[in-house]
Structure 1
Amino acid sequence: MSVCVACNKPLEVEIEPDEEEEYETGASSSSKAPAAALETYPDDVQLTCGCHFHWDCLLSAYEIASCPNCSKNITTTSSGTEQVLCTLTNEGGIQENLDILPLLTEESYLKAFPGDRKARAFLEFCREGDYKAVIDMLLDDNVDEDDEDEDEEGDVEMGSTDGPAKEVGIDRMLRYQDPIGDMQSGLHAAVQAQSRELAWLLLLLASNLPLLEFPTQVFQEAESLGIMRGLTEDKVDIRSLRDANGKSAEDIAKEIGGVWVGWTGNERLAI
C-alpha cells in the first residue's frame, strides 16, 4: 500500500462507528455491548505531480500553487479559472479530476485567521438559505472569548421578552464579508439563495430599516425566538455593504427578480 508522503503512514483513516451501532440489537437498556472496533477507510489525495497525502496532512502542509512535498506546480487553468485537480479516494469511493482549490483556499485562510471560523460558518448557512441553522447560531450561548472581546461595544440583543435581554457577540458575524468570496455579506448570500425569510431576519438585526417597514409576522417570529433588535444607529447598516464587484444586495436582487419583485427601489435592500 502507498503511504502519505507527509507522515509516511498508510493512506487510510480509522473512524469510530455511529453511536447507535455500539449497542447490540435487543440488548437491555442497562447493559452496553463491548466497544465497537474502529472502522478503516481509504484516505488518499493524489495530486497531479503523483504525490499522495492524507487529507489532513495536505491541509497542514499545503502551499499555494505547489506540492508541499516535491514543489512541482499543481495548478491548472480551465476557462480562465485556476484549479488544483486530484484523484480523491475515501469512504465515498474514487473521484477523479476533483478540484480541491476552493477547499484548500478556505482551510488556508482559516489557518491564518482561525477567529473567522464561526463567521464563515454563519455566511455559509446564509448561502444555503438555511434559516434554521442561522437561527441556531444566533441563539448559541457558546460565544468565543475573542468574539466577546471584539463585540463588547454594543451587540445585538437577544433573549426572552419576559426577562432581561442577553447580549451575544454576533455583531461582527452579522456584518462579516468574505475576503476569499468576492466580499459577499450575509445579506448578499440570502438574496442569492432567494430566502426572503432570512433576508427579513438580517434586516431586523443588522440594518436601520424602520421597524414599521417589517410585516407583523416577522416580529411575531422574532419574539417567539427571543430575538430583538439592539442599537444599530452607530453600526454599519448591512444594506450598505458592497461586494468586490461593487454590488449591493439590492443590485443582486434586481438581477435575480422573481421573489424579489417589490423589494427593490424602496430602500428595503439598499440605503
Structure 2
Amino acid sequence: MALCAHCQKPLTITIEPESDDEDADDDVPMDSEPDTLPDDVHLPCGDHFHWECLLEAYEYSKCPACNRSIVASSSSSSSAEEQIIVDLNNEGGLQQGIDIAPILKEESYLRAYPEERKCRAFLEFCSEGDHRAIAELLKSCGEEMAAEDEDGEIVTEQVGGPSKSADEILRYQDPIGDMASGLHAAVANGHREVAWLLLLLASEYPELDFPALVFQEAGALGVMREDQAGKVDIRTLKDAHGRTAEDVARSVGVIWNGWVGTGRLALLGTVSGSSGGSGGAVTVRG
C-alpha cells in the first residue's frame, strides 16, 4: 500500500466520534470507534500525499518528494493555464482527473497572507451572488472575542484572526486572479443584487439613482452607506487587463443592458487600459 511521500504514513485520516455536548460523554457508546477515511492525492509523477501534507510541502510546479514537474497546460483553454491533474480519494469518494492547481494556489497564498482570508471569502461570495453572506462578512470586521490565555488572563482577539477592514475588503483586488475586484466578479457572473450592494457601500453613485428596494434590503441586512469622501470609488478599479467592471459587462452581454454607459459600473470618462481612475460622475438613467 502506498504511503504519503511527505510523512510516510498511511493515506488515511481518522475522524473521532463527535458529541454536541462536552458533558455528554456517557451518551457515546463505549465500543464506538473512530472512522477511518481515505486521504490520498495521487500526483501525475506517481507520488501520493495526504491533502494537508501536500499543502504544507507544496512547491509551485514540482513534486515536493521527487522534484519532477507536476504541471500541464490546458488543451482546451486559449490562455494555456497551467493545471495540476490528480486523482483525489477522500470522504467524497474517488475523483479522477481533478485540476487542483487553483486550490493549491489559493491555499498557498492564504498560508502566506492569512490576513486576507476574509478578502478571499468576499470575492467568492461576489462570484456566487450571495449578497447576504457579503453583508454578514462586512459586519464581522473589527469584532473581537474575549478569551483566557494560559495564565488565566482575559485577552481579546479579532474574530477569525487578523483581517482587513470592511473598506479594504470592499475594494480588494485579487492578486492571484488578474486583480479582479468584487464588482468585476459580480458582473462577470451576472449578479445584479451584489452589484447594487457594492455600489451602495463602496462608490459615490448618487443615492437618488438607487432603486428603493436596494436601501430596503441593505437596511434589512444591517449595512448602510457611509461617507465615501476620500475613499476609492469601486467603479474606478481595473483588473490586470485594464478593464473596469463596465468593460466586463460589455463582454457578458444582455443581462447588463441599461447599465453600460450610465455611470453605474464605471465613472463616465474612465478610459479602459489607462492608469487613471477618475472622471466626472455624471449619471444617466438606463
Q: Is residue 231 of structure 2 the alignment partner of residue 252 of structure 1?
A: no
Partner of 1:204 in structure 2?
A: 200
Instruction: Say if 2:19 and 2:28, in contact at 8 Å, map to a contact too.
Output: no
Task: Compute the displacement of 1:199 (Å).
Answer: 0.6
Q: Deviations over 1:83-105 (max 9, x none)?
A: 11211111222222221111111
Partner of 1:85 in structure 2?
A: 85
Partner of 1:32 in structure 2?
A: 27
Structure 1 residue runs of 4+, over 6 Å off?
A: none
Question: Counterparts of 2:19 and 2:170 in 1: how far apart (Å)?
Answer: 35
Which segments of 5 or more consecutive residues in structure 2 lack a partner in the other structure? Answer: 145-157, 268-286
Aligned amino acid, residue 59 of structure 1: L
Partner of 2:108 in structure 1?
A: 108
**TM alignment of 1:182-197, pairs within 5 A:** 182-197=178-193
Question: Counterparts of 2:224 and 2:84 in 1: how far apart (Å)?
Answer: 44
Instruction: Say if 2:132 and 2:221, in contact at 8 Å, map to a contact too.
Output: no
Instruction: Say if 2:235 and 2:244, in contact at 8 Å, map to a contact too.
Output: yes
Which segments of 5 or more consecutive residues in structure 1 lack a partner in the other structure? Answer: 23-28, 151-168
**TM alignment of 1:105-254, pairs within 5 A:** 105-140=105-140, 141=143, 143=158, 146-147=162-163, 169-254=165-250
**Deviates most, 253-262 or 186-195:** 253-262
**Deviates most, 32-41 or 216-225:** 32-41
Partner of 1:94 in structure 2?
A: 94
Partner of 2:56 in structure 1?
A: 60
Partner of 1:157 in structure 2?
A: none
Partner of 1:159 in structure 2?
A: none
Distance 1:19 1:122, change over 3 A: farther
Partner of 2:12 in structure 1?
A: 12
Question: Counterparts of 1:98 and 1:223 in 2: how far apart (Å)?
Answer: 42
Structure 1 vs Structure 2: percent identity of aligned residues? 53
**Deviates most, 178-187 or 220-229:** 220-229
Equivalent residues, number:
244
TM-score by length of 1: 0.83
Question: Counterparts of 1:205 and 1:192 in 2: how far apart (Å)?
Answer: 19
Question: Counterparts of 2:226 and 2:162 in 1: how far apart (Å)?
Answer: 20
Distance 1:94 1:174, change over 3 A: same
Q: Deviations over 1:198-223 (max 9, x none)?
A: 11110000001111111111112222
Q: Deviations over 1:173-204 (max 9, x none)?
A: 11000011111100011112211111111000
Q: Is residue 258 of structure 2 the alignment partner of residue 262 of structure 1?
A: yes
Query: 68, 71, 81: which one pairs with 2:67?
Result: 71
Partner of 2:276 in structure 1?
A: none
Task: Compute the displacement of 1:252 (Å).
Answer: 1.1
Task: Compute the displacement of 1:12 (Å).
Answer: 0.3
SS in 1 for 2:27: coil
Instruction: Say if 2:114 and 2:162, in contact at 8 Å, map to a contact too.
Output: no
